[in-house]
A and B are shown apart, each in its own frame.
Chain A
């Protein structure tokens, strides 16, 4: 017998089932098709502005920094400011996100490098799919527009997040993701990012910048009235 058949039949023997029982099949089918939300967490059940404030507070307590911008057009100047204030070279790794590409980078001195990171970049910028207020978590999805390597290789990770893309809890984020990608279909990678990289492996003291970015900076675009 193949290992697969062996393992499955051993599971069924242990559970005392055949794998054909209708109620079990129905249970599994229903669980997956309805994907019940489970217990909801009160802290994120807030009016809109409360969720946004909670996101900011939680992201900052996870040691991310955050700047609020009045418009998407303000991104290049904000990035230039950030690079300058951290004494970084005026170079930025980005993917091919049309939203980021469409900005007027020419008004800054920033050198744009397009495509995935090769590990030589000091700073990179991606556009977040969502932000989850309950823990200040950014949700990044992999694509040519926003390559995964940009989330992990540069020392400074910058992320653009629309205020309108903030959800209260993870479940609401999944609901949006299913709307975008279709039920049961996932982007190749979904990265939840809560603060910059860190390690406590030496004497249980938390140090930032283990393998991923040393700093995480969020550029949050305010909702237009």
Chain B
């Protein structure tokens, strides 16, 4: 787990990632695995774009009434026999969960995939308290064996290839035959299934996240393909749901609307394999399911995002489409972002959680190509929000000095058209002379970021405006 964020070292992280051949090869899977599938499945549903609007509107409505929906949700959970715990901070959430574990004398805790668990660094805290957390999502299990953070919010191990997984399994599963064949991914899957099956059956507590919380019924919802979340929450005596407050939706109908865009945007499936609505603990009429049902509602700065430029970010349903379509994410992978949330959604969310002074690179490391926004199922204006962060940095003088200077220099001339008009033709003609023979310059002062790897085209000489006025005064027909 990355207890210590490396967001401030983004450039170094990116440099390493760009030189990592294995990672670069793995990142090609993102394009093939996600982009084409999403496009195909979206094309099969004529209402897809309208459903995105609908999903956005549902989340907006919920956020505008969040206090009331939370109260309503809590009441319904209690009516169903569950317990609701409120956590202002990551620390409070960790403490609540550890207390619950200790009260029931839990030794082994199975876990469904939860980004909130990553956000609050729950595994490290559990281990420290003498409780063994076992990640059960295959990707999360693999990265837990490697003591890594997820590099993608829905495909945590997307940065790895099968042979890396094989060597991790051989290193950790020492009770199995050393000569077993693990060449094929399906053999790896089978082995993980066997190893984790025992864990599911012996766990004392199961912890899952929640994709949604339904105010109408007090239900928590998880969406998975593996079924690991269901085994996590069905088999142990106690089920703990850890969810942030913005996961609320009003009704079952509302969540159905959003589910129609979630899997399609995430994996390109029409629907994920398992969508599970859980409401309270085991009842008198049940023969299985947890005897205790707890929900930990985490704020961790979200209530303060409401009413600000960043409120729209709270619509996010964690599908990963933004990173799947991001050229920067494709280039450097998720770990370069240095914390839990990578890609465009991370570039907006991470500064709110860690502070823009620590995570300032993230909203800057974007070309603003807008592809993230174009695929976001709840239409979060991600580039606009990254720009808001840049504004915050600029006004707090966190923007690097060279960039500030360059901008100020440019703006000085651009704001003085007369000076600009007089100076630029000479300057451009001079640059033209310098690179005329080849048509480009191989180096430019202050722009090595460009010229280290690219030539800089030589200007044609003069400026359009000066040439145009010359032509006009020479009697060109207007």
Contacts and interface: CB of A to CB of B under 8 A. Distances in A.
Nearest to A195: B273
A32 interface: yes
A204 B225 contact: no
Chain B contact-residue range equals: 35 or more
A6 B298 CA distance: 12
Contacts of B272: 194
B67 interface: yes
Nearest to B65: A28
Contacts, number: 272
B374 interface: no
Interface string B18-56: 000000001001101110000000000111001100100
B72 A32 contact: yes
B165 interface: yes
Given A11-B67, A149-B288, A184 B86 contact: no
A148 B230 contact: yes
B320 to A, nearest CB: 12
Interface string A16-33: 110100001101100110
A148 B288 CA distance: 7
Nearest to A189: B278
A62 B276 contact: no
Given A35-B216, A199-B226, A204-B29, A116 B306 contact: no
Given A38-B253, A144-B286, A199 B138 contact: yes
Contacts of A202: 138, 142, 157, 160, 162, 165, 185, 188-189
B136 interface: yes
A136 B188 CA distance: 29
Contacts of A194: 269-275
Contacts of A153: 231
B297 A7 contact: yes
Contacts of A171: 253, 256
A116 B231 CA distance: 13
B473 interface: no
A185 B46 CA distance: 33
A105 interface: no
A162 to B, nearest CB: 21
Most buried by B among A8, A61, A118, A185: A8
Contacts of A190: 219, 276-277
A149 B162 contact: no
A77 to B, nearest CB: 27
Given A203-B29, A203-B162, 4 more contacts: A152-B227, A171-B253, A189-B276, A201-B155
Closest 6 pairs (CB-CB, A-B)? A212-B227, A204-B33, A210-B226, A201-B139, A14-B306, A192-B275
27 contacts: A7-B70, A7-B88, A11-B66, A15-B306, A28-B68, A32-B216, A35-B250, A58-B270, A62-B273, A96-B287, A119-B201, A142-B289, A174-B253, A184-B76, A186-B80, A188-B80, A188-B282, A189-B277, A191-B276, A193-B273, A202-B162, A204-B155, A210-B225, A210-B228, A212-B227, A212-B230, A212-B231
Interface of B: 26, 29-30, 32-34, 45-47, 50-51, 54, 58, 61, 64-72, 76, 80, 86-88, 92, 136-139, 142, 155-158, 160-162, 165, 185-186, 188-190, 192-193, 196-197, 200-201, 215-219, 225-228, 230-231, 234-235, 245, 250-254, 256-257, 259-260, 267, 269-283, 285-289, 297, 299, 303-308
